[in-house]
Structure 1
Amino acid sequence: MITIKKPVGKIISSISEKLGVSYEEVEKKLTGSFLPVEKNLYVESSKCIRCNLCFEECPVSAIKKPSVKNPAEIIPENCVKCEICAKTCPVSAINVLEGKAELKGDTVIYELNEVPVAHRKIRLKEHCIDMDSCIKCGICEKFCPTDAITVERKNSIDINLNLCMGCTACEKVCPKKSIKVENEMGKIDFKKSIFLDNEKCVDCMVCSEICPVSAITYENGKMVVSKPVCIFCGKCEKNCPVTAISIENVMEK
């Protein structure tokens, strides 16, 4: 955990200047005991293996596709904080941080914590390499996270399938498209549940319109949540005007 303390006055002045509103107006917004909890995701570039799995699995196009030269990158304005990318990354290169700001007297105390992520399972099904087109350049070896590939440049390549995890990094970085990998992706364990109270619901359709994966629809005179489709991003819960939707953490037995 990282703790940062800053004088309220300096923060208010900075916000006031950047937003072009009065100091007093900003101060009114900070009169509560607690400020909202904020979640952020970031890619640890030195760990990224260019497997593209985060890019492929992101449901809202919030990942910039990686290349041999550049790691994956999160697009903040698109991200809905569903954590699917972090749960999918086979090498834990995507971190989830949660910050909470608390107002105490004339000081804002900001706490930053790393959120534990339950990773989905990835299993190799088949690994094929076309020896005729392979140029033994060694790029696949560079990005293999389990050292399953050994290359003697321009001479030979060896794949140890007992070490291969099926991440597809070698396939994605191969300049000659000589490698094909078939894997099996496990289900994502969100450890959350969603509940829509139709007694409270006023059928305003806000949740349906704002859901990034169309998991909420109007059927037979009421709003319905498709739980298998839901990514638990919380946008519906935050924007429901009558608090008819709740998302809760599921306790492990």
Structure 2
Amino acid sequence: MKTLEISIDKVVEMVLDRVEDADEDTVLEVLSETPAVRREFVTIDPERCVGCKTCYEECPVDALTEPDSTNPPEVDHDACVRCRLCAKSCPVDAIKVVSGEARVTKDSIEVKLEEVDVIRRKFVLRKAILRKDRCIACRLCEQICPVEAPNIDKLRIDEDKCIGCKACEHACPVDAIVIERTLTPPEFEREIELDQDMCIGCEVCVEVCPVDAVEMEGDVANISYDRCIRCGECARNCPTGAIKIKEVREEV
């Protein structure tokens, strides 16, 4: 866990620089009444990212820009629903989930950052083909592959090395590479619990669910766990606390 401290004076200075008509007394009053804030977010290591596009393809809310061999994806943190699927699906562990907590003290804002341990999905390689009739020996596939599976001198891809990330397929300018693979279904570190006795039938959970996993059955909500990605948007928006997020990582 990493802990950072930012002085209150520095925070006030930053707010005054950015917010028109703000005054020091108001900023200090707001800070004094601010409870601890906890938020989860994802970070992407550009040095590890190979531009395979798996995270981009798996994101259910289009919160990631489309990457390529030279530009990693960027995260739209406002659109992100914190489902962790991008991190679970990254074949090279370039995406991390970080839990951050900010707490206001008398003299500073204390920020604690801790990496969340997610259950990674497995890639099952079906076929890796390098088409000899198309290859122009540009060697982009060799440059981008994280495990040195393509061998242009031998015009083949070593399936014993290949992890099925598809980085070479996306990088190839002449479509000479075909990678066929499947991903194992995601496993979850948390569960979503619904107390239907507390549900008031407001349908907010139905509206905010990014994968249509919540439906109304009569006057109460019902969650289809086969579709649910455990992002927690329903729980975060439920006005009565009828839906809760339960961390179960240790039990998995």
TM-score between the two structures when normalised by the length of structure 1: 0.90
Equivalent in the alignment of 1:7: 7
Q: Which amino acid aligns with 1:224?
A: N
Distance 1:77 1:33, change over 3 A: closer
Structure 2 residue aligned with 1:226, among 224, 227, 233? 224
Root mean square deviation of aligned Cα: 1.9
Show structure 1 runs of 5+ residues with no match.
none
How far did 1:2 drift? 2.4
Q: Which amino acid aligns with 1:92?
A: D
> The residue matched to 1:63 in structure 2 has which SS?
coil
* Higher mean C-alpha deviation, range 130-139 or range 29-38: 29-38
Output the CA distance in 1 between the equivalents of 2:27 and 2:216. 39
> The residue matched to 1:67 in structure 2 has which SS?
coil
Say if 2:36 is the partner of 1:35: yes
CA contact (8 A) 2:91 2:165 kept: yes
* Higher mean C-alpha deviation, range 56-65 or range 122-131: 122-131
Q: Which amino acid aligns with 1:189?
A: E
Output the CA distance in 1 between the equivalents of 2:29 and 2:225. 39
Output the CA distance in 2 between the equivalents of 1:220 and 1:173. 50
Output the CA distance in 2 between the equivalents of 1:204 and 1:9. 43
- CA displacement, residues 70-124 of structure 1 (integer Å, 9 cap, x when unaligned): 2222222321121110110000011222221223322221122222222111110
How far did 1:201 drift? 1.0
Q: Which amino acid aligns with 2:228?
A: C
Output the CA distance in 2 between the equivalents of 1:27 and 1:4. 20
CA contact (8 A) 1:215 1:227 kept: yes
> What does 1:121-200 correspond to in 2, within 5 Å?
121-152=122-153, 156-200=154-198
CA contact (8 A) 1:151 1:158 kept: yes
> The residue matched to 2:32 in structure 1 has which SS?
coil
CA contact (8 A) 1:33 1:104 kept: no
* Higher mean C-alpha deviation, range 165-174 or range 33-42: 33-42
Runs of 4+ in 1 over 4 A off after TM superposition: none
Output the CA distance in 1 between the equivalents of 2:7 and 2:163. 49
> The residue matched to 2:251 in structure 1 has which SS?
coil
> The residue matched to 1:204 in structure 2 has which SS?
coil
* Higher mean C-alpha deviation, range 169-178 or range 94-103: 94-103
Output the CA distance in 2 between the equivalents of 1:215 and 1:72. 27
- CA displacement, residues 133-159 of structure 1 (integer Å, 9 cap, x when unaligned): 11121111111111111224xxx5232
How far did 1:32 drift? 5.3
- CA displacement, residues 184-228 of structure 1 (integer Å, 9 cap, x when unaligned): 201111221111111111111111111122211112332111112
How far did 1:6 drift? 2.0
Q: Which amino acid aligns with 2:41?
A: N
How far did 1:17 drift? 4.8
* Higher mean C-alpha deviation, range 203-212 or range 104-113: 104-113
TM-score between the two structures when normalised by the length of structure 2: 0.91
How far did 1:34 drift? 4.6
Output the CA distance in 1 between the equivalents of 2:16 and 2:81. 27
